Amino acid sequence: MLRTALTLRAPARSFALAKLGSRLPSALHPPLRSPLLSRFKQPQNQVRHQSSGQGGSASSDTVVLGLVSANVLVTIGWMKAQTSSARHPTQLPMKLMLTHFTTSTQHLKEGRYYTLLTAMFSQASLGHLGANMLGLYFFGREISHVLGPRRFLGLYLVGGVLSSAAAVLEQHLSGRLTFNLGASGAVNAITAMSVLLFPHGTLLLFGIVPMPAWLGGSMFIFKDAYSFATDKQDGIGHVAHLSGALVGGLYFYYLRRRAIRNFPFGRF
């Protein structure tokens, strides 16, 4: 979630509590290392070909845990900066974090384009970190096993960078100068892919209320779309959420189109 205020807490994401029970359609022919797909059989030469194309021996779980660790480390940096700012008259630690781990129109005007990437590893609070990392861990492990580590990492990073860019563009068009940060754009890209792959899986809303994944996903999309359309100023980057989900959706349909073309007898 790209935030426009550093002090506002993010609401917990019920997506992080989802349990996915659907089967991946065979048209995509994903690697057999996915625990969801152990019932599917593929020719051995096809499995070797896919493994080499997805990053060799790289572990999907290692990629997910590496991303979680990076977010935790940057958040610790924010906590230390906030603590030490009171002891530094120049507030140098906080200035360093704001300069290099948030993004805005001012950042891009000054040539710090890399902040479109680094800002997605910053979280505004421990609650913000926990909500995003739960979503990344639970959805990320499923999707990384399906896509493989390279494609998963690419989807996560592209979703995060493009959602950062969308937040900055919104800021430019609105004339507001704010600092944007957070991983929710990237997490929403992964979540959208998961919901589209497993639309009849079960989401537990707030960990209690079960509902189909397609319904839960639609509700969150509608909430962000409504908040964006009404210009709700709640410190949450709704346009970043929507942009991340759009990236995940477009990548899903790209893979679907390619799968149908390569495997015309498969069903999706």
Among candidate residues 104, 194, 241, 243, the one labeled active-site is 241
The count of domains in the chain is 1
Per-residue model confidence (pLDDT) at position 171:
87
CATH of the domain at 222: 1.20.1540.10
39: number of Cβ within 10 Å? 7
Residue 35 lies in a domain: no
Give yes or no for a contact between 178 and 4, defined as CB atoms under 8 angstroms apart.
Answer: yes
Q: Which two tokens stand for residue 156?
A: 């996560």
Q: Verify whether residue 184 is a known catalytic residue.
A: yes
The count of C-alpha atoms lying within 13 angstroms of the C-alpha of 141, restricted to the half-sphere facing its C-beta, is: 16
Among candidate residues 60, 144, 184, 243, the one labeled active-site is 184
Residue 211 lies in a domain: yes
Residue 170 lies in a domain: yes
Give yes or no for a contact between 143 and 26, defined as CB atoms under 8 angstroms apart.
Answer: no
Per-residue model confidence (pLDDT) at position 17:
30
Per-residue model confidence (pLDDT) at position 49:
39
Residue 82 lies in a domain: yes
Residue 14 lies in a domain: no
- Residue (of 98, 125, 104, 121) closest to 10 by Cα position: 125
Cα of first residue to Cα of last residue in the chain, in angstroms, is: 31
Which residues lie below 8 Å from residue 175, measured CB to CB, with a gap of 6+?
A: none
Residue 11 lies in a domain: no
Instruction: Output the DSSP codes for the chain.
Output: --BS-SSSPPPPPGGGG-B--PPPPGGG---TT-GGGTT----HHHHHHHHHHTTTT--HHHHHHHHHHHHHHHHHHHHHHHHHHTT-TT-HHHHHHHHHS-B-HHHHHTT-TTHHHHGGG--SSHHHHHHHHHHHHHHHHHHHHHH-HHHHHHHHHHHHHHHHHHHHHHHHHHT----BB-SHHHHHHHHHHHHHH-TTSEEEETTTEEEEHHHHHHHHHHHHHHHHHTT--SSB-HHHHHHHHHHHHHHHHHHHHHHHHH-TT---
Give me the sign of the Cα torsion angle 163, 103, 119, 2: negative
User: How remote is the C-alpha of 246 from its chain's centroid?
Assistant: 11
Would you write out the chain's pLDDT as a tens digit for each of its 268 residues?
A: 444 333 333 333 333 333 333 333 333 433 333 333 333 233 333 333 344 444 433 588 899 999 999 999 999 999 888 887 666 656 788 889 999 999 999 999 999 999 999 999 998 788 889 989 988 998 899 899 999 999 999 999 999 999 999 999 988 888 887 889 999 999 999 999 999 999 988 777 766 788 888 888 888 888 878 877 777 776 677 888 999 999 999 999 999 888 766 644 344 3
- CA dist 267 and 34 (Å) reads 19
Residue 44 lies in a domain: no
Whole-model pTM over 0.85:
no
Residue 204 lies in a domain: yes
Q: Which domain range does residue 196 map to?
A: 59-260
Residue 180: beta bridge partners?
Answer: 103
Opening angle at CA 101, ends 100 and 107, nearest 5: 55
